[in-house]
Homo-oligomer: A and B are copies of this chain.
Amino acid sequence: MSIQQTAEKAKAASKLMAAVDTNTKNDALGKIAEALEANTDAITAANKEDLERAEKGNLARALLKRLKFDGDKIAGVCRGLRSLAALEDPVGKTLASTELDSGLELYKVACPLGVVGVIFESRPDALVQISSLCLKSGNGVLLKGGSEAAKTNRILADIISRVSVEAGLPDGWIGLLETREDVSAMLGLDNCVDLIVPRGSNEFVQFIMNNTNIPVLGHADGICHVYVDRQADLDMAAEITADSKCQYPAVCNAMETLLVHTDIAEQFLPAAKKALDEYGCRLKGCEKTQKIIECEPADEDDWQTEYLDYELSIKAVSRMEDAIEHINKYGSGHTDAIVSSDEAAARKFLSLVDSADVFWNASTRFSDGFRYGLGAEVGISTNKIHARGPVGLEGLLIYKWLLLGNGQTAGEYASGQRQFTHKTLGKDCPL
């Protein structure tokens, strides 16, 4: 089958997926878990082939660790499948209800998007997680995993497809893409694919965003800031600085630039440096910063660099407004924090910083679906529409308007024969 055919099949299946009842979906999730457990040997054998090929190709140790899919990891994804089955079904939930007139009732009801294309790293557990999220939310899915995991992805997709269709899901709801050409082909299929979720490097996500008309949910980079205000608990500020930068510097919600009010810079910067030195963090500062602590000079490039490493740029600002302007100019609209004991300043920062996640007296590292309590995370979005910040299942849903009448026509209202009542009903759709 060509990618076009795979996508058309997923589109047709997605129309049926939207109406599959909750029990059938949850039953399918349970049966997928059973089948993965029953096929542990075959899965780990396929994964072993992937691992051997990757080792020969000198894949980095950290990536090999993510590629490995053994009994423990299988048990982990099966726990995930069963807790997803236990979650409330988001499809069909009534979001709003209005009586337009007696006997004419309007309901805004959650429904799936359609077909979601997900491109993800060489981590086989991601395939199970993503496809199960799509299943639960009633979406069709096209999956493209990292090529290092090709054999593992193939057996996992085969099992999930076979078992879910046996459990009553429409054939073709899940499709596996296997090459870069497949991905390029998918990017052009805006009549079949409703949303693309790319995971991976900044360059990769940026490439996807620039090369498709399909809406993309994600973030290219994560240039996050911490601003330490003139009135702040400086011990707290040093802890938040160290945590935001160094707790796990390779991720998108780690801080890249520290902004410090000049009033407290002489007191705070030595304390911050001490905390950062413990991690061996390289420091680059503006001219004022360089006069207070030992560091390399920072230039214009540094303000727009996502180091993703133990490296930090620092800038002193004489007004909070300058910090906000810097963040809105150089930031990614991802996550930015203020450390301040002045509530009015915090309020201003929170309303003027135009980012998905804006924090007061907390580390930037909290912006994450798990930490937010969203359950499974689809991704982190710096989009301005649909879904922003950490996105859970609700990012895979939209709504439709259902109107239940008994023969009403617009003419009756246009002529004044009948009038709209427009009363909030506050009840679930009866159908």
A: which residues have CB within 8 A of B? 15-16, 18-19, 92, 98, 100, 104, 106, 111, 113-114, 194-195, 209-210, 213, 215, 233, 236, 239-240, 242-243, 247-248, 328, 343, 346-348, 350-352, 354-363, 365-367, 371-373, 383-386, 388-390, 398-411, 413-414, 420, 422, 431
Smallest Cβ-Cβ distance to A390: which chain B residue? B401
CA distance A167 to B88 in the complex (A): 48
CA distance A385 to B190 in the complex (A): 13
Q: How far is the CB of A324 from chain B (nearest CB, A)?
A: 8
| Beta-carbon contact of A388 and B398 below 8 Å | yes
| Beta-carbon contact of B351 and A407 below 8 Å | no
Q: How far is the CB of A94 from chain B (nearest CB, A)?
A: 13
A-B CB contact pairs (8 Å), 11 listed: A92-B351, A209-B213, A242-B409, A247-B409, A248-B410, A355-B400, A357-B401, A357-B403, A359-B402, A367-B401, A373-B422
Q: Of B113, B384, B390, B407, which one neighbours A239 at CB under 8 angstroms? A: B407
| Beta-carbon contact of A409 and B243 below 8 Å | yes
Smallest Cβ-Cβ distance to A98: which chain B residue? B373
Smallest Cβ-Cβ distance to A355: which chain B residue? B400
| Beta-carbon contact of A114 and B400 below 8 Å | no
CA distance A351 to B350 in the complex (A): 41
| Beta-carbon contact of B411 and A398 below 8 Å | no
Q: Of B194, B363, B409, which one neighbours A409 at CB under 8 angstroms? A: B363
Q: Of B209, B346, B371, B406, which one neighbours A420 at CB under 8 angstroms? A: B371
Residue numbers in B under 8 Å from A350 (CB-CB): 402, 431
Smallest Cβ-Cβ distance to A18: which chain B residue? B351
Q: How far is the CB of A363 from chain B (nearest CB, A)?
A: 5
Residue numbers in B under 8 Å from A414 (CB-CB): 247
Q: How far is the CB of A320 from chain B (nearest CB, A)?
A: 13
Q: How far is the CB of A417 from chain B (nearest CB, A)?
A: 12
Q: A404-B361, A409-B247 are in contact. Are A372 and B98 (CB under 8 A)?
A: yes
Residue numbers in B under 8 Å from A104 (CB-CB): 362, 366
Q: How far is the CB of A424 from chain B (nearest CB, A)?
A: 9
Smallest Cβ-Cβ distance to A362: which chain B residue? B405
Q: How far is the CB of A350 from chain B (nearest CB, A)?
A: 5
- 10 shortest interchain CB distances as A-B pairs: A362-B405, A243-B409, A365-B410, A373-B422, A236-B407, A19-B351, A385-B386, A386-B386, A359-B403, A194-B384
Residue numbers in B under 8 Å from A399 (CB-CB): 388
CA distance A406 to B366 in the complex (A): 13
Residue numbers in B under 8 Å from A385 (CB-CB): 113, 194-195, 215, 385-386, 398
| Beta-carbon contact of B366 and A408 below 8 Å | yes
Residue numbers in B under 8 Å from A388 (CB-CB): 398-401
